[in-house]
Amino acid sequence: MQKTTPMKTYRLYFSKVLLVIYLFVFAGIILAGITGIIVGPLWKIGPEGPPTWAFLLVLIFGLFNAYMWLRFPYQITIHDDTRIEFRSIFRRTTVSPLSIKSVRAKRYVLGYVDVAHQKGTVHLLNQIDGFHEFLATLKSLNPSVTIQGC
């Protein structure tokens, strides 16, 4: 089997300092939830303190937000055989350009783009270097793709 080399790669433009800040915020929320769940029943925070289940909600909130942020692709690669790969920390989605139906900016949130394909949707942050070049390449590979708001 022959290994394909990437034709073009587009990366998320994201400051490393901002990434570290986000990671500390998510880690802080998650640690606060875990600490509250452990400390609450052991030392009885008191009748004036929050109930232990409230810390469970904080933990769920922190884990959910961390998952939502870490599922955004940080790299788009168009391979020589025209496969398009969206790579995030949690998953890697590879699609054919012909299976992509539309690329649309989200109407209710600025800075986010949805790439709808036959098997689902890839959610992107609209801060990818060369994104308009990616759209032009995608349009040349699949003239029927709908592009709106990008």
Identify whether residues 93 and 55 lie together within a single domain: no
- Looking up residue 135, the CATH number of its domain turns out to be 2.30.29
Strands (E), the chain: 6-11, 75-79, 84-87, 92-95, 100-105, 112-117, 120-125, 146-148
Q: How far apart are CA 133 and CA 135, in angstroms?
A: 5
Domain membership flag for residue 1: no
Identify whether residues 81 and 65 lie together within a single domain: no
Identify whether residues 85 and 127 lie together within a single domain: yes
For 43-95, what is each residue's pLDDT tens digit?
A: 666 666 677 788 888 889 888 988 888 888 889 999 988 899 999 888 899 99
Identify whether residues 80 and 143 lie together within a single domain: yes
Tokens of 25: 């915020």
- What is the residue range of 130's domain? 76-148
For 6-46, what is each residue's pLDDT tens digit?
A: 588 898 887 667 777 878 888 888 888 888 888 777 666 66
pTM for this structure?
A: 0.75
Q: Is 100 helix (H, G, I), strand (E, B) or coil?
A: strand
Domain membership flag for residue 4: no
